[in-house]
Structure 1
């Protein structure tokens, strides 16, 4: 799930997944972090989910995927679209 908060010139996007699906550490990897695993790792929240928030420029489009333990790549079901193997996000 994606949560968005509009700010003056950027958008805070929170990437949210269930606490245990998939098991193990998960990071969001995309063009906004040079596709570098581990840069934005999802952390546990009190509501039983895990999440990470990234500030992105407003009115932009980004490609991303999730990377879980065991080199398991997967997409966001609630993305704004898909571009080949990647999820797309519009801010």
Structure 2
């Protein structure tokens, strides 16, 4: 069973904790507008596991922020996320870190 995904805001930083996988993404997806409002950094340091659905969510969060006129950087990007991004041939700016 997947650990629940949690997130906290500290100023312009959105910190994610738990697992970022298909079983727990819906709540963050539904709250994305509020969660990303004013965010410049998404901190992944507290994320224990990411699957392809989690990577897709990160790509969409970055794109959503861009549509709002903000550039979001990712911090604490794991080797797993980098590997998945390479396997899917994502452009470098899809997951800026």
With the shorter chain as reference, the TM-score category is: 0.3 to 0.5
More helix by share: 2
Q: Give TM-score, length-normalised by structure 1.
A: 0.34
More strand by share: 1
